[in-house]
Structure 1
Amino acid sequence: MKTRYKINEMTCSGCQAKVIQALQSVTEYVEVHLQPAEAVIESKKKIPLEELQHALSHKGPYTIQEIIVDENGTQTYSEIAHHAIHSSDKHNETPKNLEHLSGKYYCPMLCEGDKVYDSNVGCPICGMDLVKIGGNPNDNDEVNHLKKLFYQSLIITIPVFIIAMFGMKHDSFIYQFISFDFGIWLQFIGASLVLFLGRNYLKRAWISFKTWNLNMFSLIGLGAIAAYLFSFYVILNPHNFHSSEHLPIYFESVAVIFTLMILGQWLEAKAHQKTKSSLEHLLNLIPQKATIIINGNHSEIDIDKVQINDELLVKPGEKIPVDGIIFSGSTSVNEALLTGEPLPIEKSINDKVLAGSINTDQTFTMKAVQVGQATTIAKIIEMVNKAGLSRAPIQRLADSISGYFVPIVVGISVLTFFYWSYFSLEASWLFGLQNAISVLIIACPCALGLATPVSISMGIGKGAQYGILIKNAEALELLEKTNVVITDKTGTLTEGKPSLEEIIPLQNYSEKELVLLTAQLNANSEHPIAKAFKDKATYYQLDIKPTKMVANIAGKGIQGMIESKKILLGNEALLNQNKIQVSEEIKNQVQQVQDLGKTVSYVVINTEIIGLAVIHDAIKPEVSETISFLHSKGIEVIMLTGDHKKTAEAIAKQIGIDKVFASQLPEDKLQMIEKIQSEGKIITMIGDGINDAPALAKANIGIAMGNGSDLAKDFSKITLLNHSFSNVEKSIRLSEKVIKNIKENLFFAFVYNVIGIAIAAGVFYYATNTLLSPMVAALAMCLSSVSVISNALRLKRIKL
């Protein structure tokens, strides 16, 4: 038997994989679909819902409900299993089955699924810092910890470095204050303390070799331990080195290596923190209290106590606590922090308001629609965090190279040791070991590991500043490779709402008189076109006196009585119904307007046509310029719209679109994208409606307009929060700059390593008579990482 289930909290492909794994532990045959979030289980007998829920609870905050379809085809859901780990009225509390894991760590890339660790020793697979379960994602604990660690290491390293640099000879001034032997043992103690402070990085190095998932910590740990153990051997056996001018100890190198490495980790953590701050600070703008109305009484409650459908009171100057709709009253709302629009937006009954925006005008009441992590701000932050963890293909290339890089470097280090120990003119195992250690240190792939993620993170943060919400790092790379842009029309290229552009008088009437007449006819209607007439009257500051004698004629228009005169407003079919003739002159005038992609309604008094109302969904002013930019990049632009062919072609001609396909259903748009992709082209799809969702999901990059449907935004990889079409251009420019920045970082890292390894191995020794000490190698290694981070930070200053 087959049974369908709804899976709650399954939001991405990673969730899908975990749900499949969980349900396969219960039954052999299972299909799991992400959209809609459902599972189909086939089994000989029905599996208890509690058993399925128990399996899911071990994989995450997923809950399962059976889908029940009655004889009328109506679909309902069973109750959530009694031990469900999340419900809308518990406001995202810690899942019961994960409470015992609080304080443990997991890899944000989920390299080993849901495996947890006792401490932040780094992921054994990818080497990334682990995330603490139950911690606040918005705090600076990691940054502060690394900062403290760096300063502790620095305080210890400075005296070790001074003693090493100025105390190479027995007659150094340093030994007027301390004995030579005491100075050596101070260096040993200092290096030991720094290694203790950086013990987690030694653990990472050990795990990387143990699992053979080699990363930058592999070389750091190997090089530092080699230098430390060799130096310890020297101070225990100084008589073996009596011929040297000074004892070959490198405790200062160990201390400097780890101190600089901690500095690099701190700078990286700070860079990541900065990229998220542009959105995370929005959470701090949400008030901690809300005024709730219960039975007419007002009381203040904590924000996390607000439930869906609660009635809330918002006064002028207050911040809106949750997402909702206005229940009574009207006001102006400043949504600049969410949309980038500087001017307040007029809001009235049934209009949506967003948490964190500011009520700038009148008191109103609202009904809570989305609370807690379901609010727009919380979703935005969640998407940014996910995007910061997602990996672009170019980053996976760098990761793959790092896996081969480490064993190659270790091999070079071994060859360097044997050459300088046994085959060089100065054959000395001291030379050999020193050069081998230098190779290990200078070849550390820190810069290589930082090259991509820091640039991606900075790019995502920069996009957020412009209202470009990038949900997936891959989108940043693919945008730069786009060669076809497919766009919807209504709400994407146009404003998405009809407006009365003008009324052309045909008799002895002024435009204002005709606007007042048509506005009165539409005064009691809530139709979008009726609103266009009323808005025009408001613009002219006309006093509208509604008339009750009005009839809507489906598909034709509206007619009514005003001051004993019969007024008609509609298309030619309405005129035909009333046996009103249209002259050829007027028909030609109407045709000229329609050729511009506009709609015309006739205005009639009794039987006389007195005017033409030009209704237009205005093209966004920035569209033509953006289309020109796309063409300059060699990108083909195609319009797919459900509108009529004549209107679509007229608009396309105005703005320079290459191809037009009108009267398109959602499945038509999807098939068109599949066809173009089969030609090997990379498609960016731009849309805003529910009908665009399948195409947005199928395209290589889906871009949703910020004022579009939630479904469109869910399926897209990029959302333009201020719904400006010009942000398509900005998105592509951002992609170009980020990819260029990554390539610069990768080039620098590779060239640096090639040259550094050659110098450290002593390739230029006979020409320069100079060897690279481990300490200088450590400094150079750190500078390369700092250079990569500094180059990535340049993205903060770019203008799109």
Structure 2
Amino acid sequence: MKTRYKINEMTCSGCQAKVMEALQTFADNVEVSLHPAEAVIESNKRIDLEDLQHALSKKGPYTIQEITISANGAEELSEIAHHAVHSHNNNNEPPKQLEHLKGKYYCPMLCEGDKVYESNVGCPICGMDLVQIGGSTNNNEEQNHLKKLLIQSAIITIPVFFIAMFGMSHNSFIYKILPYNVALWLQFIGATSVLFLGRKYLKRAYISFKTWNLNMFSLIGLGAIAAYLFSVYVLLNLHTFHTNDHLPIYFESVAVIFTLMILGQWLEARAHQKTKSSLEHLLHLVPQKATLLINGSTTEIAIDKVQIGDELLVKPGEKIPVDGIILSGKTSVNEALLTGEPLPVNKEGNDEVLAGSINTDQSFTMKATRIGQTTTIAQIVEMVNKASLSRAPIQRLADKISGYFVPIVVLIALLTFIYWGFISTEASLLFGLQNAIAVLIIACPCALGLATPVSISVGIGKGAEYGILIKKAEALELLQKTNVIITDKTGTLTEGKPSLEQIIPMKNFSEEQLIKITADLNANSEHPIAKAFTDKAIDQDIAFKPTKMVANVQGKGVQGMINGKKVLLGNEALLKQNRLEISLEIKSKVTEIQNQGKTVSYIAINNEVVGLAVIHDALKPEVKETIAYLHSKNIKIIMLTGDHQLTANAIANQIAIDEVFAQQLPQDKLAMIESIQKEGKIIAMIGDGINDAPALAKADVGIAMGSGSDLAQDFAKITLLNNSFSNLKKAYNLSTHVMKNIQQNLFFAFVYNVVGVAFAAGVFYYAIGMLLSPMIAALAMCLSSVSVIANALRLRNVKL
């Protein structure tokens, strides 16, 4: 026998492995999945739930509930073992078994699984800021703290940089304002202050060396500290370094590097805060009140008081409070929030309705089957959150090289000290130390630090000119490597709303007459299809007026009296209800239109079909050309849509989509992306709805349409502001140009570093009789930065 269980508090792959280990002690055939957080145990005998809970408790704060199917087909959960608390009382509270973890921190990239930390010291693996468990979604204390640090650091750094850059010559105008010694000490005070402000990043650099997980913090920390300590030594021993050349003091480099690093951390904190706020906003889309039915009387209760099995009343225009099934009544429900499809769906007895969707038609009663964190919309929130956290951080080229570059530089500095301090004919400890420090200083990643952010910054500005909003730099790195593009249909490939394409007269009526009649019939309705008829009349300047004698026929269409004539507008079922026959000629015409992925409504007057209304969600005009271009780059295009298969196939055939998957729910889209990623493919996902948000977050590059939902835009890394699908092509081209520019910049930066390190180490001393002087070192570092910036600025002239 197979038994399904829900596993609570299983949040990552580390948890999954622990749960699997605990449950395998009871049976060999055990399957544990993260999405959804469930386990399936196949055993010859029934296993006591208390025994399972006991085994899980030894592994962590996990609880288990058995999933059973009730007589009406709804899933029901057993009480949480060892925690006799009714589920609905804790939907909005932190799990009791996790209270001992509140206030602790975890890495958002889950580098060490479910490991937690006592304080935010930064992840020892990737160096990122840690996230507090149980912190409020509105808590932006860290973001405000970093903003304050950034402002303070910038105020200090700007004058330090100004003094250093314009004070290289002893005859500089700077020294007519400030005495030479005072200018040097001001630089020391400024650099020291910035290091103090960014002291936690020095600690991260220390941890990276301690754990030997070298990253950009290692490189920056090593170079900055070497530059600072050596500069302090020079400052305290000016008589030893008395020369007409510029003193080897690099306080400005220290200040600039740390200010840029604080800037990057602040931008990261802003992005994370926006993510949390967006999730909270999505949950607020569910109503906070529900109408409870008890013995025929109604009572309004808070949403967290609803229990599974409760009977609820939902009135027209109200949002559905929880997931459930309809007990009585017929209606139309707008599920665009969850499916992305704009047309309301007809619902009747035993049909499922979902929390957050809107009842657009008539009152109905429903039975609650899923509440709180088990509702579909809550699961979407969970999927988005997990998808946005489960992806490992992308290691940029500079980060990858850092793992090799840092130990190599340290080794070269050590060998330089040994040679010039003990072996060479000019050997002295001071000479060896000076040259070793020179190696570390010239290796300080000034140009390296600028190589990526400057190109990204210019690229982001260039994208904005074309209505392409780049929100995450890694998107520009990955988009040009994309193998597969997955696209939504409605609102992405199409305009996103039903429109009346045309009315085909079948009898002695003109198209204009039929437009007026159908507009009269729909003038008082807010239904999306009704609006398509009135919009058509407005576009063609056809006057219409509401008719009072109109009835909505659930799931079939509308009918009414206009000028003493009975008018029907709807599907074939409406005609059959009124005993109207449809000729073979008309049926053939309707089939032809439907095979094009369009919807047809019959127009009948006085029991005779007089016309056909062709309703269509039109393709955006630039879609076909853009997809052809992407195919030329060997990119596979897959369409995932919540629409019907016939409509999806018709659209796909028109624009040469490679694969089509219809009637896809949010979890289906997410599963598809995870499946393709396991094949080693890099995926870009483009969509516009809340239902696309989990997929956008999970994809390597999420791209949202500008007219789409706020949540889709928040979890996408790129937003196409003008809603044009052709901007996907421009974004791809921009990505290609920016990455090429970054590679050029890294080449410049490392060439200067390699040559500079070689000179500083004395490789060319016996050939040309010189070591790298401090003045030349300063100029070389400055020139490397200038070359990187100048090359990045070339992106401004790129044509997309």
TM-score bin (small chain): 0.5 to 0.7
**Is the contact between residue 486 and residue 639 of structure 2 (CA under 8 Å) also seen in structure 1?**
yes
State the distance in 2 between where 1:744 and 1:185 align: 38
Whether 2:602 is the aligned partner of 1:626: answer no
Residue 116 and residue 444 in structure 1: after superposition, are their counterparts in 2 closer, same or farther (change >3 A)? farther
Post-superposition Cα deviations, 1:741-774, rounded to whole Å, max 9, x if no partner, equal 3553454245313313422442677488752379
**Is the contact between residue 752 and residue 780 of structure 2 (CA under 8 Å) also seen in structure 1?**
no
Aligned to 1:737: 734
Aligned to 1:316: none
State the distance in 1 between where 2:674 and 2:7 align: 20
Choose from 261, 268, 292 the match for 1:265. Answer: 261
Q: Report the Cα offset of residue 5 of structure 1.
A: 1.0
Aligned to 1:106: 106
Aligned to 1:545: 549
State the distance in 1 between where 2:74 and 2:372 align: 28
Q: What are the within-5 Å matches in structure 2 for residues 589-604 of structure 1?
A: 598=598
**Is the contact between residue 463 and residue 470 of structure 1 (CA under 8 Å) also seen in structure 2?**
yes
Q: What are the within-5 Å matches in structure 2 for residues 721-760 of structure 1?
A: 722-723=707-708, 728-731=725-728, 733-734=730-731, 736-738=733-735, 740-760=737-757
Residue 525 and residue 9 in structure 1: after superposition, are their counterparts in 2 closer, same or farther (change >3 A)? farther
Q: What are the within-5 Å matches in structure 2 for residues 691-710 of structure 1?
A: 695=672, 697-699=674-676, 700=681, 701=683, 703=685, 705-707=687-689, 709=691
Aligned to 1:613: 612
Aligned to 1:408: 408
Whether 2:773 is the aligned partner of 1:771: answer yes
Residue 787 and residue 312 in structure 1: after superposition, are their counterparts in 2 closer, same or farther (change >3 A)? farther
Q: What are the within-5 Å matches in structure 2 for residues 567-606 of structure 1?
A: 582=583, 598=598
State the distance in 2 between where 1:277 and 1:782 align: 36
Secondary structure of 2:439's aligned partner:
helix
Post-superposition Cα deviations, 1:113-146, rounded to whole Å, max 9, x if no partner, equal 3333344433222222333445456515356357
Normalising by structure 1, what TM-score?
Answer: 0.64
**Is the contact between residue 569 and residue 602 of structure 2 (CA under 8 Å) also seen in structure 1?**
yes
State the distance in 1 between where 2:477 and 2:510 align: 56
State the distance in 1 between where 2:472 and 2:312 align: 36
Which moved further from structure 2: 198-207 or 596-605? 596-605
Residue 708 and residue 583 in structure 1: after superposition, are their counterparts in 2 closer, same or farther (change >3 A)? same
**Is the contact between residue 442 and residue 781 of structure 1 (CA under 8 Å) also seen in structure 2?**
no
Q: Report the Cα offset of residue 399 of structure 1.
A: 3.6
Q: Report the Cα offset of residue 631 of structure 1.
A: 1.3
Post-superposition Cα deviations, 1:343-384, rounded to whole Å, max 9, x if no partner, equal x999xx9999989x9xxxxxxxxx999989999899789958
Residue 775 and residue 152 in structure 1: after superposition, are their counterparts in 2 closer, same or farther (change >3 A)? farther
State the distance in 1 between where 2:742 and 2:488 align: 37
Aligned to 1:206: 206
What RMSD, in angstroms, separates the aligned Cα atoms of the two structures? Answer: 7.4
**Is the contact between residue 16 and residue 33 of structure 1 (CA under 8 Å) also seen in structure 2?**
no
**Is the contact between residue 504 and residue 611 of structure 2 (CA under 8 Å) also seen in structure 1?**
yes
Q: Report the Cα offset of residue 625 of structure 1.
A: 0.7
Aligned to 2:713: none
Q: Report the Cα offset of residue 161 of structure 1.
A: 12
Q: Report the Cα offset of residue 78 of structure 1.
A: 0.9
State the distance in 1 between where 2:73 and 2:305 align: 37
> Which amino acid counterpart does residue 541 of structure 1 have in structure 2?
K
**Is the contact between residue 140 and residue 273 of structure 2 (CA under 8 Å) also seen in structure 1?**
no
Q: Report the Cα offset of residue 213 of structure 1.
A: 1.9
Aligned to 2:15: 18
**Is the contact between residue 558 and residue 568 of structure 1 (CA under 8 Å) also seen in structure 2?**
yes
Q: Report the Cα offset of residue 543 of structure 1.
A: 0.9
State the distance in 2 between where 1:168 and 1:727 align: 54
Whether 2:51 is the aligned partner of 1:51: answer no
Post-superposition Cα deviations, 1:447-493, rounded to whole Å, max 9, x if no partner, equal 76787799999999999999999999987655434466566767764
Any unmatched runs of 5+ in structure 2?
325-333, 359-366, 710-719
Residue 157 and residue 708 in structure 1: after superposition, are their counterparts in 2 closer, same or farther (change >3 A)? closer
Residue 691 and residue 783 in structure 1: after superposition, are their counterparts in 2 closer, same or farther (change >3 A)? closer
**Is the contact between residue 451 and residue 745 of structure 1 (CA under 8 Å) also seen in structure 2?**
yes
Residue 601 and residue 251 in structure 1: after superposition, are their counterparts in 2 closer, same or farther (change >3 A)? closer
State the distance in 2 between where 1:311 and 1:773 align: 80
> Which amino acid counterpart does residue 271 of structure 1 have in structure 2?
L
Provide the aligned length of Structure 1 versus Structure 2: 728
Aligned to 2:142: 141
> Which amino acid counterpart does residue 505 of structure 2 have in structure 1?
P
Which moved further from structure 2: 522-531 or 406-415? 522-531
Normalising by structure 2, what TM-score?
Answer: 0.64
Residue 604 and residue 730 in structure 1: after superposition, are their counterparts in 2 closer, same or farther (change >3 A)? closer
Q: What are the within-5 Å matches in structure 2 for residues 86-105 of structure 1?
A: 89-90=89-90, 93-105=93-105
Aligned to 2:362: none
Post-superposition Cα deviations, 1:61-95, rounded to whole Å, max 9, x if no partner, equal x6532123579976432123454999665465455
Secondary structure of 1:116's aligned partner:
coil
**Is the contact between residue 597 and residue 647 of structure 1 (CA under 8 Å) also seen in structure 2?**
yes
State the distance in 1 between where 2:131 and 2:257 align: 20
Q: Report the Cα offset of residue 226 of structure 1.
A: 5.9
Secondary structure of 1:127's aligned partner:
coil
| Percentage of pairs with the same residue | 44
Q: Report the Cα offset of residue 264 of structure 1.
A: 2.4
Q: What are the within-5 Å matches in structure 2 for residues 141-290 of structure 1?
A: 141=142, 144-145=145-146, 147-148=148-149, 151=152, 199-222=199-222, 245=242, 253=250, 258-273=254-269, 275=271
Q: What are the within-5 Å matches in structure 2 for residues 345-744 of structure 1?
A: 383=384, 387=388, 390-391=391-392, 395=395, 398-421=398-421, 427-444=427-444, 479-482=479-482, 493-494=493-494, 500-511=500-511, 514=514, 540-543=544-547, 545-546=549-550, 582=583, 598=598, 611-616=610-615, 618-622=616-620, 624-633=621-630, 634=632, 635=635, 655-657=654-656, 695=672, 697-699=674-676, 700=681, 701=683, 703=685, 705-707=687-689, 709=691, 717=699, 718=702, 720=704, 722-723=707-708, 728-731=725-728, 733-734=730-731, 736-738=733-735, 740-744=737-741
> Which amino acid counterpart does residue 262 of structure 2 have in structure 1?
W
Aligned to 1:80: 80
**Is the contact between residue 443 and residue 756 of structure 2 (CA under 8 Å) also seen in structure 1?**
no
**Is the contact between residue 23 and residue 52 of structure 2 (CA under 8 Å) also seen in structure 1?**
no
Secondary structure of 1:125's aligned partner:
coil
Q: Report the Cα offset of residue 498 of structure 1.
A: 6.1
**Is the contact between residue 208 and residue 215 of structure 2 (CA under 8 Å) also seen in structure 1?**
yes
State the distance in 1 between where 2:161 and 2:530 align: 81
State the distance in 2 between where 1:522 and 1:152 align: 63
Q: What are the within-5 Å matches in structure 2 for residues 288-299 of structure 1?
A: none
Q: Report the Cα offset of residue 111 of structure 1.
A: 2.1
> Which amino acid counterpart does residue 51 of structure 1 have in structure 2?
H
Choose from 734, 759, 762 the match for 1:762. Answer: 759
Secondary structure of 2:125's aligned partner:
coil
Residue 484 and residue 129 in structure 1: after superposition, are their counterparts in 2 closer, same or farther (change >3 A)? closer
**Is the contact between residue 436 and residue 761 of structure 1 (CA under 8 Å) also seen in structure 2?**
no
Secondary structure of 2:618's aligned partner:
coil
Aligned to 1:682: none
Secondary structure of 1:612's aligned partner:
strand
> Which amino acid counterpart does residue 54 of structure 1 have in structure 2?
S
State the distance in 2 between where 1:371 and 1:271 align: 33
